[in-house]
Structure 1
Amino acid sequence: MNSVVPFGLFASLLLSFSSLSHAVNVRVVALFPEKALVFIDGERQFLEVGQQPVKGVRLIDSSSRKARVEVNGVVNDYFLSRDMGDGIQSPELLSFRINRTNEGQYLAQSVINNRSAQVLVDTGANVVAINAATAERLGINYKDGDTVRVETASGVVRGFQVMLDFVSVGGIRVPNVEATVIEGNSPETVLLGMSYLKNIRFSEEGGVMTLQARY
């Protein structure tokens, strides 16, 4: 059965917290200077400093390190390196920094199924995306995967859904990562999509992308 796999969903779980007041559930999923992407009771919202509260939730300040959020009148600071449930300082977690290139991209070396490959961080890609030639070099038996239709800049092409044994970037290893192998030469570089990124914490500030293990 064919289905279309769009590469346009931006979401990644970086940290979460719950407000007991009025049972509002808030999850902060991405941090940027003076902006934050959050889920409020399961509904995605993009908050900015100075914006009116949304369902009782207001962003007071935000950076790549932390968010100061007011939930129904209660203000707290939330750090990426902290346990959001009880505020206890967590042990230092493995992190890796990637400098932005002159072309505005974040490129890094990775290990996929025990073989090296350059990856391009792409928060707009639902899953890791690999062209067929690269998949063969990585030893991925993709033709056994389910066939899908993939929308690309040059049109709709055939792809294959696969499960990678693991993907590791900067030593941050995530097992069982969903990927799509796309026929042809696109993308030229492996796209490090949300099927990997949702399992870690990541932030961007001042031309530096920071990846951090969640555990």
Structure 2
Amino acid sequence: MTPIKILLSLLMLTSAYASADNNIRIVGLFSDKALVIIDGQRHMLSTGGKSVSGIKLLKASSTSAILEVHGKARTYQLSRDMNGGIQKPEKAIIQIARNNLGQYITRGRINNQPIDLLVDTGANVLAINSMDAKRLGINFQNGKPVKVETASDIISGYQVILQSVALGNIRVNHVEATIIEGSYPDIALLGMSFLKHVKLSEHRGVMQIEANY
């Protein structure tokens, strides 16, 4: 191959990768999944899942995603599209699959500490047992004493305000919560004190939670 042909081949290859990069945008990030726009179409990619148009998700966190693009690993941040002037960022969205018990459980963060959360639209406030609260560093003893009625008993608890509650990129500050003495509930209940700040929808066993801002 002549030097001119080699140069043209390299330019074509570089152009192909640049074009691929320009057609990829990350618009949603959550644990092991990313909502990606590829050539104008939205695709939910999962770690270890199938590739779409030669693009595969290798890793995802709340801040970035590593995609394999035509055999090469590339890191992408959450898209902030500035075309046509300053625009609002894409709304953060997470999706939760219903488990065999009909529950929607996801990994979240309370005061930046990880914890499993059960979405419960029937709970007025976020409810955490005292053992989890201690692990999270919540000083609930300084909260307002309350009585909590469960299915079988009335238990002592404390009303507190959490610094923050987050699901993926969805974050709500100053969330009311009840800390319940003992081991109930075994999974923290994500009640309406958080859910009233987001948009909820459910379709075919998948709950979608979207930031309301």
TM-score scaled by structure 2?
0.58
**Out of 99, 105, 109, which is 2:97 matched to?**
99
Q: Pick one of 121, 130, 133 that aligns with 1:132.
A: 130
Specify which structure has the higher proportion of helix.
Answer: 2
Q: How does 1:189-208 map to 2 (within 5 A)?
A: 189-208=187-206
Percent of aligned positions that are identical: 52
* 1:115-135 deviation line (CA, Å, top 9, x unaligned): 100000000000000000000
- Give the 5 Å matches for 1:145-184: 145-184=143-182
**Structure 1 residue aligned with 2:120:** 122
Per the TM alignment, residue 91 of structure 1 is displaced from its structure 2 partner at its CA by 6.1
CA distance in 1, matches of 2:148, 2:157: 6
Once residues 201 and 157 of structure 2 are traced to their aligned partners in structure 1, the CA distance between those partners, rounded to angstroms, is 30
Q: CA deviation at 1:171?
A: 1.6
CA distance in 2 between counterparts of 1:186 and 1:138 reads 16
2-side partners of 1:156 and 1:174: how far apart?
29
Shift of 1:170: 2.0
Aligned counterparts of 2:92 and 2:122: Cα–Cα separation in 1: 24
Deviation at 1:206, TM superposition (A): 0.7
Q: Report SS of the residue matched to 1:181.
A: strand
5+ long unaligned stretches in structure 1: 1-89
For 2:23, the equivalent position in structure 1 comes to: none
**Which of 178, 182, 185 matches 2:183?**
185
- Distance (whole Å) between structure 2 residues aligned to residue 151 and residue 111 of structure 1: 26
Query: Structure with the greater relative contact order (CA < 8 A, sep ≥ 6): 1 or 2?
Result: 1
Cα deviation digits, residues 82-139 of structure 1 (max 9, x gap) = xxxxxxxx86311100000011000000010011000000000000000000000000
Listed as ranges, the gaps of 5+ residues in structure 2 are 1-87
Distance 1:204 1:148 in 2: 33
Q: Which amino acid letter does the alignment assign opposite residue 131 of structure 1?
A: N
After superposition, the CA RMSD in angstroms is 1.4
Q: TM-score, normalising length from structure 1?
A: 0.57
Q: Distance in 1 between matches of 2:90 and 2:181?
A: 41
- Distance, in Å, in 1 between the alignment partners of 2:153 and 2:181 is 12
Measured in 1, the distance between the counterparts of 2:168 and 2:99 equals: 17
Q: How far apart, in 2, do the equivalents of 1:113 and 1:93 lie?
A: 22
Residue aligned with 1:195, SS: helix
Counterpart of 1:198, as a letter, is K
**Partner residue, 1:143:** 141
CA distance in 2: counterparts of 1:139 and 1:198, whole angstroms: 25
Q: 1:168-208 deviations in whole A, cap 9, x for unaligned? A: 01220000000000011100001000000000111111100
- Structure 1 stretches of 4+ with a deviation exceeding 2 A read none
1:21-40 maps to which residues of 2 (within 5 A)?
none
